[in-house]
Structure 1
Amino acid sequence: MYASEFSLASATPLQKRAAAYYAPSAGGGSELDNAGDGYGEPLNVIISGLSSPGVLTDAGLLNFAHALGYSEECLDLHAGGAQSADLGDGNGWVDQLIEIREDYGSAAVGTCLESLVGGNHFRVWRQNGTEADSGALFLAVSKEEDIFESHTIVPDGYDIGRNLLVEAAVGTTSYGGVTYSTTAENITGLLAPGSDGVNHDIAQDGIVTLLTVTIVS
């Protein structure tokens, strides 16, 4: 599913799940997505399934992203193929729900600038299969080069991208009349540190950050 097809309505029930997330490896999945050619990008941020249910819907995710300074792709255009991930929930390998980019202060057109000069971006998958239905959102976050460098990842770009997103999220943020309070916890053991199997052969520290997002008003 590409960004232009990402519905603002969600079929996800507005109810709390019982778990923050399930480790993809426990169900035969992977904490690396499939970027092609046998390599993957780390799923290095998880929005907890214990977050407010309104955050975990399609529309809720987009509004939260706006609160952090991110928006849909420029003019809803998507360049290149979608990446896929297996979250170990019984759904197998599925395409990303959406790709979201830093908007440089303009939710309307700022991601067009990001497409030119580079910046932070992330892809999203939802863990909702019958074998591991946490409702958690798994994000592959990275910082990329500008268009002249073909949007390759900057050196140390997976760790940098994760940290920038987390820094923007933690604490109190708001957008569209919704206010969020977000806490972060670093998780080890889900993702092996290093560059083995990682796209662009860029090493990362093996930390996955779990964000718990609460709607406070």
Structure 2
Amino acid sequence: MLSYASPLQKRAVAFVDPRPGGGSLLDNAGSGGGEPLNVIISGLSSRAVLTDSGFLNFARSLGLSTECLGLHLGGPQSANLGDGHGAVNQTTELRADFGNAVLGTCLESLAGGNHLRMYRQNGPTANTGALFLAVSHEENLADNHTISPDGYDVGRDELVSTATAGQTSFGGVKYTTTSQSITGLLPVGSAGINHGIAIDGVVKLLTVTIV
């Protein structure tokens, strides 16, 4: 059963809906539109998964890693998760690593692939620890590295499919992941979405357990 909480509740919950706290499930892409925060890593996941290093290790078990040689073109995007912090820049940005967690993301920059931005809900009015992800699939360099057609839904589904297909592992840590679909948090269609790309409005809630 999905665990929601009002901003004043202090018990462990999956996440708090950002909207009552003035937030949104769309980040600010700086172009008049937003990227959908279409995956949430539940605050009920194993606590180590919700740390910066723990999330990176889990993401590497899904085939994503830090950007090529630590380099990034373009500024960070921000999101307001309704937790009392207001708009906060992304905590991290990861890309498909094609099986090489050290240098593989250099290939994603050329060939395209899955990509995510992570934001943490940890403010004074909603300190859930949940991680909100803006996941997308990008085109290759020849197509200016833009989001693929239907790239938000495609990127989300690719990440979730990998996470839930069976046990994943990296660096000696093993994970099992369950998924739940949530509607009503995001709009359906292209209005307000970065690049005018339509979305189906579904958010995937993942609960990740270290085994």
User: Fold match, TM over 0.5?
Assistant: yes
Count of residues in Structure 1 that have an aligned counterpart in Structure 2: 201
Q: How does 1:133-152 map to 2 (within 5 A)?
A: 133-152=127-146
Q: Give the drift of 1:37.
A: 2.5
1:58 and 2:52 matched: yes
Aligned to 2:17: 23
**Deviation at residue 78 of structure 1 after TM alignment:** 1.1
* Paired letter, 2:154: I
Which of 197, 201, 206 aligns to 2:196? It is 201
| DSSP-derived class of the 1:167 partner | helix
> Partners of 1:93 and 1:119 in 2: how far apart?
27
What is the aligned counterpart of 2:210 among 207, 212, 215? 215
User: TM-score scaled to structure 2, two decimals?
Assistant: 0.93
The CA deviation at 1:18 is 0.8
Structure 2: 5+ residue stretches without partners: 1-9
Give the match for residue 175 of structure 2. 180
Counterparts of 2:26 and 2:20 in 1: how far apart (Å)? 14
Q: Distance in 1 between matches of 2:181 and 2:108?
A: 27
Question: Is the 8 Å Cα contact of residues 17 and 49 (structure 1) preserved in structure 2?
Answer: no
**Gaps spanning 5+ residues in structure 1: where?**
1-15
How many angstroms apart in 2 are the aligned matches of 1:111 and 1:59?
A: 18
Distance in structure 1 (CA, Å) of the matches to 2:142 and 2:11: 43
Q: Does structure 2 conserve the Cα–Cα contact (< 8 Å) formed by 1:17 and 1:135?
A: no
% identical equivalent positions = 66
CA drift at 1:127: 0.2
In 1, distance between residues paired with 2:145 and 2:54?
27
Aligned residue for 1:159, secondary structure, equals helix
Letter in 1 for 2:86: G
Extract structure 1 runs of 4+ deviating beyond 2 A. Answer: none
Does 2:64 match 1:70?
yes
Of residues 72, 77, 85, the one that matches 2:79 is: 85
**Structure 1 residue 86 displacement after superposition:** 0.3
Residue in structure 1 matched with residue 121 of structure 2 by the alignment: 127
Higher relative strand content: 2
Deviation of 1:17 after TM superposition, in Å, equals 6.1
Q: Deviations over 1:2-26 (max 9, x none)?
A: xxxxxxxxxxxxxx96110001102
In structure 2, what residue type is equivalent to 1:42?
A: P
